[in-house]
Amino acid sequence: MKKPDSLRAALVEAIRDGEGAKILARDPEALLMWIDQGTLAVRAGDPPSYEWRYRLSLTLTDFPSDRPDEVALVIVQWLHVHQPDLLLNHAKGNEAFRFDVDIIDEKTVDWQVELRLSEAVMVAPGQGGGLALSYPREPAISEQAIVDAIVAGVAIGPDGIPVTLVDG
């Protein structure tokens, strides 16, 4: 599974204090990550490819309470590249990013985030025998596709069929 390390790198790079220092690079133990509720979706084929599906949880401990929007923005931008299906499907998007905050004091919080992720693994015959694994990138989604879906009130359903958005 590659996505947890990718998200960690994005958070470490982007989250900075008032002087511009990388908060999570300075204190890497402040970012805890784990995976649970995992499944492996497997389909018939020769060789069989598969998809990891799991909940990625991360906790930012003793984190500055004035930085929630910065963290949210990094995660949303990361999802745009690494899990774009969550942004084009209204129902998935409503559940894509869950969080809990434990307020320690007026300047410090512990913030737990949960993301539902998936990762495809392609299996092919390797050179000289054996099998080779590859990890395809998520399909790129243009900004215009997102705007069009919102304006039209539709999103792409899990089966690839457009569905009408309904709030409620």
Burial class for 105, CB neighbours closer than 10 Å (0-12, 13-18, 19+): exposed
pLDDT in tens, 69-83: 888 899 989 998 899
Omega before 47 within 30 of 0, i.e. cis: yes
Looking at residue 109, its amino acid is V
Tokens of 149: 């879906």
pLDDT in tens, 28-39: 999 999 999 999
pLDDT at 125 over 70: yes
Looking at residue 127, its amino acid is Q
Under 8 Å between Cβ of 16 and 71: no
